Every structure is written in structure tokens, then in C-alpha cells.
Amino acid sequence: MSDPLLLPFQLGAMTIKNRIVSTCHAPALAEDGMPKERYQRYHLEKAKGGIGMTMIGGSSCVSPDSPSVFGQLDVSSDRMIPYFREFAERIHKEDCRIVCQISHLGRRTTWNDGDWLPVIAPSRVREPAHRGFPKVMDHSDIKRVIGDYVAAARRMRDAGLDGVEILQNGHLPGQFLSPDTNLRDDEYGGDLIGRMRFLRELYDKVKEELGTDFVIGARVEMDSKLTEGLQKEEALEALKIIEADGTIDYFNLNVGRSDTEYMLANYPVPAMFKELAPFLQLAGTFKAELKTPTIHAARISDLATARYAIQEKLVDLVGMTRAHIADPHLVNKLKEGRAEEIRPCVGAGYCIDRIYNEGEMLCIHNVATTREQSIPHITPPSSGTSKKVVVVGGGPAGLEAARVSALRGHEVTLIEASSELGGQVRLAAKSQVRKDLIGIVDWLSSEVMRLGVDIHWQQFADHEMIEALKPDIVVVATGGVPDLQYIKGGELAHSTWDVLSGEALKIASGEEMVVVYDDHGQHQAASTVVELAKRGFKVRLVTPDRHAVHEMGASNFPMYIKAFHDHQVEVTPDFRLNSISSEGNGVLAEFNSDYGDHPHKLKADYIVVEHGTLPNDELYYELVANAANHGIVDIPALIAGEAQPSISNYGGHNLFRVGDAVASRNIHASILDSRRLCQTF
């Protein structure tokens, strides 16, 4: 019996070879607003990996008064056509379909970028996320913008794409549709028919230009999740009216808007703290009322959920967008009976957080994604002789080093001091809000075992043990240990590790107060605060930054702030810890601030300090003397993806260290260290 996910589907004028698609998003890879090589290679990998349709250009901008705010493509002029034509040809060679999303952001952009034009919208209703006060669109603006949409859609056809998707919800068409953002009293406002006038005119004009041979879709809202916004009943009525107009070939069903970080993380792009596929049943309810084909994507991360969606006719095409960021070869692995090898999306939100923090999109544990030019998703075997590689440490850096070295065809031994693999990731996953991170450990562990890596459990490696194995290459991935030494009185503090592991502060015995000092700004302290609050402690978070969890992005920031509110956590910004001393049965913490001359003292029962980790590098320095390369990494070669020059020197083993054994960083950096080093062995 055929897998329903692998059945073809006819969508308007195009046939899609299977039911799995990657929906439109903006990976912040545009160069001068164009999809150049890096952008194309990111999507091309998914096409090579077997996906039926890859949808590019999230929120591609159609007008000069809709400037990019998170690295979108610019489709407002003909200069995009050569890039898109090349793009389409490359995707089509892989028997994959390509559709681009176009948009006018309306109030969802800024005036102080691009050509410095005023933000425009149906009414003067400010969007909290982008903070502009919009000019109310007059009739000439409406006519002009519709013309810009039509021109952008025509460019997609002329470039050889298979279709175009118009982003409705939250963007300009949706701002006209929703009663909380459309307060007009002319023919473009008022009741549902009036509020639909703009988008119906828009769809009519695009259809008139493109005809029936080019697919036109719309990303639409099923429910705004706002009391004054578009409700389910009216949203469905609007879709039935559009369906009767015959202008749209498919509906990409979505929930909520991205007006605030909280809304983004709960609805359009549900974060790790949300359940899997939270809006799939609602999508099925809408599909049952419509004849137009539907797509839906919202944390559909695994094949079982995707298959259920198709089998139960909840959708026609299933969006596995973040799942393909984690593994662009997902479909091929399914077809080849290798589903257990699929690298899972763990929902960490690193991809989205990076963009909202003005970086490019990256996956927390697939470091090849968006780096396809230098890091292959499929690691080729080495063309040289097999080497004996010893990896010390079974955290993410060590597991990746072992995995990649084994894929290269080398004989790999992994030495792990504990009875479990995973290192700090396993510890982080003990927090309820980050429990799905264990998927990273599970996948890496499964892969090293599948590849035949010889794992030595519960062994502390030393110089003699390593030398006895007669390695050609040693990779030290021994991680780090909490840094409490930097502060006077640090011996009186607990680390976040102590709390998350359950070794300290297991449960409150009364009204016990814990001060958590966060000098890191990431998940470590924030997840510890939540765990302590759940255990019954009164918690006060102090940070030298101007607000809590300073380095966190829009996908994760909201869940912590919500938890802080729910548990009445007191947050004190702008204070730096100077010292800790004993006072009675508790501790006294002394702080100062850049904004005041007087020290600030806090008495608490306990204090927890997060200040990153110190490298656990004793073994590395023991091995340096006998290493052929003296433990030195050739940095230019590493960056260029070239072999370390010292590898050819067989006067002794080559020694390298990776991950937090070098410096305190994060999961992605640890895996990247190992991947780009070991892929050249």
C-alpha cells in the first residue's frame, strides 16, 4: 500500500509529486534583495532531498513603501527576473515545484529604512512589533499597490516559477480584512464585504493577468486569536466568498498574526513550549467546508503527524517547513525506508530567534542548513586511507565528531565518562520547557551506534589510555564546567547545573527566597528560574542587562516572560553582581549598577549564578606535548572547509579540541566545530 505522503497531487495547473511541501519563510539570506547562490542552494537541497514543492520568498516585497524588515526578497522590479529564472530552472531539474510568496507588509514594516517612505495601512493602527504609525491609504495608494502586486506576480510567471502565493493574514490584505485594523468608513471598510473589497480586487487583477495556467495561492487566517480581530466564523465566510470568485487555487491555512512576539510564538510559528500540530484539527474543520485545496504548516514536525493529516483529509498538502530546516533529505529517507535516520526538528526556535536577532537562519543542530556551499548535507567518504580517530566526550560536539568521522570511513572510538551520552544538552532537556532538546541527543546517539562507533562508557580518559589506543587523530570534546570562580564568594553559590540536575534546591520547604543572577542572557538561567518557581521557591532574577533573557529571540523570549508573570518572579535589570557572603542561614549578594553610585544588597536563602562555563581542558593540555600538531587548529583552513595541514604529518597523533572544551558557547557552535573539522579528516 502506497504511503499517502508520497501520492501525487494536482494543484491547479501543476502536478506535485508528493504531499510534502516547505511553506514560504524568510531565511534572511537575501543579498541586495535577491536570491543569490546561498539562498538558492538552501532551497535546492530540499529539492534534491525529494520534497514535492518548495515555497520561497517569505513576505517578498512588492512595493518601495514595503521595505524588508527581516531579510526578505525584493520583487518590486524586473531586476529579480534573471535570479528567479535561474532559481526555477535549478529546482525544476530536481522534479520539484517552486512557488514564491509576495506581500505588501502594510503597517508591518518600518519607515526608517529603504527609501524612507511612510508606513501605509487601511487605518492608523500601529503594529506593536514594528512600531510605525501608518499613513491611512487613500484610493490612489490602493490602486498603486494592487498594480505592484500584479506586476510582481507577472514577474514570477515570466521567470518560470510554477505559482505565486499572496500573503494575506497580518499583512496588507489581512489588515483590510480584519475589523481591528480596518476602521475605515468608505467602501473599503465597514462590514465583511467592505473589508474584503481590497483583497478581492487584488485577487481579481492578479487572476486577470495570469490566467488559469499559473497557480495563485493565498496564505490566510483561520482565527486571529484576538478579541477584536478576525474570528473563525467570519474567516471561513470570507474564504467561501473568495472561493466563489474563483480567483485562488489553494488556501494556505494559518492561525494568528505576528503583531507581538507572544503572538508569533503561540500561533503562526508555535514554539517549543506548544504541543505538536496545535491547529491541525482546525485546518481540517476549514477544509471540510471548502472545495479549494488547502495547505497547513504549524509545528508538523514528524512523519506520523503529517501522514495522519493526509490520511484523515485534514489537508491536501502538509507543510513540514522547520522539519526540512532540520533535514532537507526527509522525503528521500522516507522513500528509501530510512525514516529512522531523519534528523528531527526539536522545535528549539533557533532558526526564528536568529532572524529576529538580525542574523541569518540556522538550525540548532543541522549546521549544514544555509551553509550548503561549504558543508554538504551528505558527508562523502574520505578518498584517503582510513584513520584511527579517538573522541573524548559524548556531548553534542563529541557525538558529531564521532558521527562525521565514521561517515568518512574512519575507525572511531568514543570515550564517555558518564553512563549517558548528551552532555549539557541532556541537562538542558531536564527543564520541562526544553524537554524536546533530548531529540538532538537521541538522533546523534542513534547515528553513532548505527555507524559502528566503539563507545567506551563510564571511563575517564587520561594520557595513558589515549596513547594505548594508538590514534591518528584525537578530538577532545570534554565540554566545560560552570564558572563560579570569577566572583568573590562564588563557593557559596549554586550553579544552574546544580538546579536542573536535581542535585540542589529540589523542593521549597516554605517561603524560601532564591536569587538567580544571570550574566549570560540565554536559556540556562531562564529555565532554572522557571524550574525553581515550579518547585515552590520565591524567585528573583537579577541581570546586568537592560532586560531579562537579553540574548533570546522572539520564539523563546515570550514563554519565559509569561512564566515569570505566572509565577510572580521579580526581575531586576541593570545590576551586576560584585560579591557573595554568608549571612545567618542564608547569603548576602552585593550588586552595583552603571546607573548609580550606591551598592545594592539582597539577602536570600540561596543564590544561583549563571556565568557560562570554563573549558574542561586538563586532558587536552596533557596530550599537547606528544601531539604532532601541538593541538593547533589551522583557522584559515577550518573556515575554508579545507583539511588541516597537520593531518598529513604522521610523526604522532594530531590533537584537536572542540565545543565548550575551547570556550563557552552553544549547541550549534559545538556541533559546527566538529562538523567542519572532521569532514576533512
pLDDT value for 510: 82
d(CA 620, CA 392): 10
Q: Are residues 588 and 647 in the same domain?
A: no
Going by pLDDT thresholds of 50, 70 and 90, the confidence category of residue 601 is very high
Is 366 domain-assigned?
A: no
CB burial of residue 288 (10 Å; 0-12, 13-18, 19+): exposed
Range of the domain at 33: 4-356
CA dihedral sign, ordered 437, 425, 671, 393: negative
d(CA 436, CA 299): 13
C-alpha distances in angstroms, 673 versus 250, 398, 410, 638?
Answer: 43, 10, 18, 9
**No. of H helices and E strands in the chain?**
22, 27
Is 573 domain-assigned?
A: yes
pLDDT value for 160: 99
Q: Would you state the torsion angle of the CA atoms of residues 227, 230, 233, 234, taken in this order, to the nearest 10 degrees?
A: 140
Q: Residue 74 phi/psi, 5° resolution? A: -110, 110
Identify the CATH number of the domain in which residue 520 sits: 3.50.50.60
430-489: pLDDT as tens digits: 999 999 999 999 999 999 999 999 999 999 999 999 999 999 999 999 999 999 999 999
d(CA 627, CA 653): 5
Contacts of 102 (CB under 8 A, 6+ apart): 57, 60, 62, 75, 149, 152, 153, 156, 164, 165, 166, 167
Q: Are residues 208 and 338 in the same domain?
A: yes
Instruction: Tell which phi-psi region holds residue 337, choosing left (phi > 0), alpha (psi between -120 and 50) or beta.
Output: left
Q: Are residues 116 and 194 in the same domain?
A: yes
Q: Are residues 198 and 65 in the same domain?
A: yes
pLDDT value for 113: 86
d(CA 138, CA 289): 35
Contact 296, 328 (CB under 8 A): no
Is 383 domain-assigned?
A: no
Is 370 domain-assigned?
A: no
285-340: pLDDT as tens digits: 999 999 999 999 999 999 999 999 999 999 999 999 999 999 999 999 999 999 99
Q: Are residues 414 and 332 in the same domain?
A: no
Which cell is 232 given?
473563525
C-alpha distances in angstroms, 332 versus 203, 313, 496?
Answer: 36, 23, 41
Q: 567, 583, 611: which is the final residue of a domain? A: 611
Is 203 domain-assigned?
A: yes
Strands 576-583 and 586-593: antiparallel
pLDDT value for 387: 96
Q: 301, 335, 356: which is the final residue of a domain? A: 356
Instruction: Tell which phi-psi region holds residue 543, choosing left (phi > 0), alpha (psi between -120 and 50) or beta.
Output: beta
d(CA 368, CA 346): 16
d(CA 427, CA 443): 16
Statement: residue 604 has pLDDT above 90: yes
The Cβ of residue 375 has, within 10 Å, a number of other Cβ atoms equal to: 17
Q: Out of 448-457, 488-497, 566-575, 594-603, which region has the weakest mean confidence (pLDDT)?
A: 594-603
pLDDT value for 650: 56
Q: Number of folded domains in the chain?
A: 3
Q: What is the mean pLDDT of residues 402-423?
A: 98
Identify the CATH number of the domain in which residue 184 sits: 3.20.20.70
Q: Are residues 409 and 332 in the same domain?
A: no
Is 373 domain-assigned?
A: no
What percentage of the chain carries pLDDT values higher than 70?
99
Statement: residue 65 has pLDDT above 60: yes
d(CA 365, CA 371): 13
pLDDT value for 574: 96
Q: Residue 15 phi/psi, 5° resolution? A: -100, 130
Q: What is the DSSP letter of 379?
A: P
Which cell is 260 given?
507581538
Q: Are residues 237 and 320 in the same domain?
A: yes
Q: Are residues 646 and 670 in the same domain?
A: yes
354-357 long-range contacts, CB within 8 A, separation 24+:
354/28, 354/553, 355/26, 355/27, 355/28, 355/70, 355/71, 355/553, 356/70, 356/261, 356/553, 356/554, 356/555, 357/551, 357/553
Contacts of 371 (CB under 8 A, 6+ apart): none
Q: Are residues 268 and 298 in the same domain?
A: yes
Q: 558, 583, 611: which is the final residue of a domain? A: 611
Alpha helix segments (H runs only) across 96-231: 139-158, 172-177, 192-210
CA-only gyration radius of the chain, Å: 27
Statement: residue 388 has pLDDT above 90: yes
Q: Are residues 339 and 396 in the same domain?
A: no
Statement: residue 648 has pLDDT above 80: no
- Quote the pTM value: 0.97
Is 426 domain-assigned?
A: yes
Contact 493, 487 (CB under 8 A): yes
Mean pLDDT taken over the chain = 96
Identify the CATH number of the domain in which residue 417 sits: 3.40.50.720
587-591 long-range contacts, CB within 8 A, separation 24+:
587/489, 587/492, 587/493, 587/515, 589/515, 589/517, 589/542, 591/542
Contact 323, 300 (CB under 8 A): yes
Largest CA distance in the chain: 84
Is 376 domain-assigned?
A: no
- The b-or-e profile of 387-420 (16+ CB within 10 A means b, else e) is bbbbbbbbbbbbbbbbbbbbbbbbbbbbbbbeee
67-88: pLDDT as tens digits: 998 889 999 999 999 999 999 9
pLDDT value for 651: 67
- The b-or-e profile of 561-571 (16+ CB within 10 A means b, else e) is bebbeebebeb
150-168: pLDDT as tens digits: 999 999 999 999 999 999 9
Q: What is the mean pLDDT of residues 25-43?
A: 98
Q: Are residues 193 and 332 in the same domain?
A: yes
Round to the nearest angstrom and report the end-to-end CA distance of the chain.
43
Q: Are residues 463 and 502 in the same domain?
A: no
